[in-house]
Amino acid sequence: MHVQLGDGATTLVWIDTEEAIIVRWEDRATVERLHSDVEGRHRSSGNEGIGTSAEAMDHARREHLRRFLDEVVEHVPSAGDVTVVGPGLVRERLERSLRADDRRHGRVRHVRSSASDRVTEQELVAHVRALAGDAPRRRRLPV
């Protein structure tokens, strides 16, 4: 995808329940990783009471996820466009959280989201660079 979103900083966030990788582009890439304490989903062992333990675990998981998303929103720069990528619902929830935070603070910027499997840090840097409209320099091979 080679789309220029505008002048200035551009941010790409890859997120799942385990971590967020925030890649900013403003003349060069900076990468920040945030690790999550969100636990994976647990299956019932059959030893729990009538749903109370499973409900409590699900509530705790949702609360950890909410705190993780709040932390990610705090680390995303307030200026420049943002693209959120990653699998599943966490990506969609982060997009909604960023839009809500922008409304609260009266910010106007593009916040986009698209599904993505896990990618390498180099691929994320190349993607944010393309989003910023800065084509990579091609190396010339010696003749």
The three-state (H, E, C) secondary structure of the chain, written as one string:
CCCCCCCCCEEEEEECCCEEEEEEECCCEEEEEEECCCCCCCCCCCCCCCCHHHHHHHHHHHHHHHHHHHHHHHHCCCCCEEEEEECHHHHHHHHHHHHHHHHHHCCCCCEEEEECCCCCHHHHHHHHHHHCCCCCCCCCCCC
At 133 the pLDDT is: 84
pTM above 0.85, yes or no: no
Q: Say yes or no to pLDDT of 7 above 60.
A: no
At 43 the pLDDT is: 47
- Given a contact cutoff of 8 angstroms between Cβ atoms, the answer to whether 39 and 61 are in contact is yes
Top-confidence residue, 134 or 62:
62
Residue range 58-80: average pLDDT? 92
With vertex at residue 56, the alpha carbon angle to CA 55 and CA 59, rounded to the nearest 5 degrees, is 85
With vertex at residue 1, the alpha carbon angle to CA 89 and CA 127, rounded to the nearest 5 degrees, is 75
Write out pLDDT tens, residues 33-60: 999 988 765 444 444 455 568 788 888 8
Q: Say yes or no to pLDDT of 2 above 50.
A: no
Measured between alpha carbons, how far is 31 from 13 in angstroms, rounded to an integer?
A: 10
- Please state, for a pLDDT cut of 70, what percent of the chain lies above it: 79
Q: Say yes or no to pLDDT of 142 above 90.
A: no
